[in-house]
Amino acid sequence: MLTGRFFVTGTNTGVGKTWVACELLKQASRANKRCYGVKPVASGCTQVQGELRNEDAMALMKASSIKLSYSMTNPFAFEPAVAPHWAAQQVGCTLSVAQLVDGMEAALSHQAELVLVEGAGGWLVPLNAKETLADYAQALGYPVIMVVGLTLGCINHALLTAEAIKQSGLSLAAWVPNATPSAEQPREEQEANIAYLTAALGVAPLLII
């Protein structure tokens, strides 16, 4: 079973990062392991009992055996359903790596056998004009789990993301291929892509969805 602290990224938005993170947390919970997932920044949030909440963050909370408060799980929640940096600008806020580090300090102080920090969108999603979520992942220093959406172009997207992770000085701990609902590839082609990426990345898939 997977143990440790990991940053979960994707080759694009909507590739299944939350589903993968929740599945890993559920596996740990079934094994009676202490685990939790967090999502530092999220856009497209809705009002729930007077508080902006994101459905992905709430799914992580539900799958975690350690129950953190919503504000600890997702300290930066924005209503506009656009990229996080633009969503923050629309409500008069700015985002930075330093803010995310400070905002997640309390949550990440909890000890557990498995801790997952889920990003937003892909690896280089901006936080501001100069910093990206990759810079935040670099500040954490956690190994990375990459979720690959099995759509046309996925090999290119996956290899570019893996190279960017390497250039950030971080290790690719695992990757997960996911046939997203929008995928138009036949199963045979998906299997061929998985085989190619397994050889190219030098790492077998952690899960196959």
| CA distance to 74, 91, 113, 117, 184, per residue, from 120 (Å) | 11, 18, 23, 10, 24
Short-list 105, 138, 102, CA closest to 119: 138
> What are the start-end ranges of the H helices in 48-153?
55-63, 70-73, 84-90, 97-108, 133-140
- What is the CB-side half-sphere exposure of residue 162 using CA atoms within 13 A? 19
- In this structure, the number of other CB atoms found within 10 A of the CB of residue 83 comes to 17
Which residues, in sequence order, are bridge partners of residue 7? 117, 144
CA distance 79 to 1: 36
Rounded to a whole number of angstroms, the distance between the first and last alpha carbons of the chain is 17
- Active-site amino acid positions: 39
Strand (E) or helix (H) holding 114: strand 114-122
